[in-house]
Structure 1
Amino acid sequence: MNVADSKRCFGHRLSRCWLFALLLAGPCWADWRPALPDGRLLGSGDFTWFGVSLYTARLWSPGMPMTWDQPFALELVYHRALSRDALVEASLKEMRRMAKARPDEPTLQRWSSEMRDAFVDVRPGMRITGLYHPGKGCTFFVDGQLRRRVEDPAFARAFFDIWLDPRTRDKELRQRLLGMAGPAE
């Protein structure tokens, strides 16, 4: 083996070692944590629809009980493949349903556009994390990578109300997220 072949072989081995190390490290999912340095897990639970587990939700907050005047993070780890369009439409449907005063069409169009930019088609194991910024808006991360900042406090509140408002569809999940229920059996 000549010197050039030896260097090429070493380069291939080094590349495989880096790839192996990256695979061992697992997915990067904590990049939002510096924005919530005192955040701790308040609660978690699974969301199921007609017996099918769609995702596991986790709520992170610096204080307990969670309040709307402090930042928090809601992390969703998906168990099923879902399209971006399905995520956006389901979110808009719930935001409309729960609104005290129905948002006008231009607002709903803007919110739809923000979510289309923030979300992706998800596969099992993928994470979307929303970080709530009181009075400012929210930030979305997909598998730990910054995806979109939304500087709209009304959107942020309406979005997180889907899980945290007392009128949510899954009241048991809300209780678990807020640390007001025991662990799931």
Structure 2
Amino acid sequence: MRKSHFLAKILVLCALGWSALPGPARADAAPSLALQSLSIQERLTLAGEGQMRFLGMAIYDARLWVDARFTPERFEAHPLALELHYHRAFSAAAIAQRSLTEMQRQRKLPPELAQRWERMLAQLLPDVQRGDRLLGVYLPGEGMQLWRGPQLLGTLREPELARLFFGIWLAPQTSEPSLRAALLARVAP
């Protein structure tokens, strides 16, 4: 099994284990329980969590999982997992379109590349309903995977697309700096 695929499965198990635990202790307990049960050396921890709101309405809750070496300034150098728990329904096309708009805050894309990436994201992303949970796994230098529960929805082997996609939440140019701060709240400076 490829190392990146194995790591992605571990990240997914961590997030799934976390969501099944009750109460406030679950944030710290899940990664260590999942990793210990699989005898994995590298621990993942919850870096932070926050809520995306628009005009006072909750859009989704977000949780970020990172390894011990993670630094916000070089987020693209580390594997990570970002879980979104939706409070509203959105089409895959609408999510892909908004994602491209947000990605272009970090880097202006040539129109043909932006269109190709938007199509790729629309094919990978599902329509979401209230209560849906998606987990994005970032694999540095390789791309990204998207999971819904234990189901792998797909893999994009486009490293730059993946970096910009996760930069929506983690890059300094994010349109939601308060959500970024919440997601990085537990990361040591």
Tell me the TM-score normalised to structure 1 length: 0.74
Distance in 1 (CA, whole Å) between partners of 2:83 and 2:14 is: 15
| 1:147 maps onto 2:127 in alignment | no
Q: How far 1:163 sits from its partner (Å)? A: 0.5
1:32 to 3, 6, 12: 12
Which of 118, 132, 137 matches 1:112? 118
Q: Which blocks of at least 5 consecutive residues in structure 1 are unaligned?
A: 1-29
Counterpart residue identity of residue 176, structure 1: A
Amino acid at match of 1:109: Q
Which residue of the partner structure matches residue 173 of structure 2? Answer: 167
Task: Give CA-to-partner distance per residue, 1:46-67, whole Å, 9 cap, x none.
Answer: 0001101000000001126443
- Letter matched to residue 48 of structure 1: R
Residue type matched to 2:182 in 1? Answer: R
* Ranges of 4+ aligned residues in structure 1 off by more than 6 Å: none
Identity within the alignment, %: 36
Cα distance change, pair 31–98 in 1 and its aligned pair in 2 (3 A): closer
> Retained in 1: the 8 A contact 2:79–2:137?
yes
In structure 2, list runs of 5 or more residues that go unmatched.
Answer: 1-9, 16-30, 36-42
- Letter matched to residue 79 of structure 2: P
| Matched residue SS, 1:44 | strand
Q: Which residue of 2 aligns with 1:96?
A: 104
Select the structure of larger CA radius of gyration: 1
Letter in 2 for 1:50: L
Aligned-partner Cα distance in 2 for 1:33–1:44: 18
Give the count of matched residue pairs: 150
Match of 2:76 among 48, 68, 72: 68
Between the aligned partners of 2:69 and 2:55, the Cα distance in structure 1 is: 31
Q: What whole-Å deviation, never above 9, does each CA across 1:72-107 have from its counterpart, x for those lacking one?
A: 0011000111111211111011112321xx211221
What TM-score comes out, normalization by structure 2 length?
0.72
Cα deviation for residue 176 of structure 1 reads: 0.9
Aligned-residue Cα RMSD (Å) equals: 2.3
2: CA distance between counterparts of 1:40 and 1:87?
Answer: 27
Are residue 54 (structure 1) and residue 59 (structure 2) matched? yes
Is the CA contact 1:47–1:55 (under 8 Å) kept in the aligned structure 2?
A: yes
Shift of 1:122: 0.7
Question: How far apart, CA to CA, are the structure 2 residues paired with 1:164 and 1:31?
Answer: 18
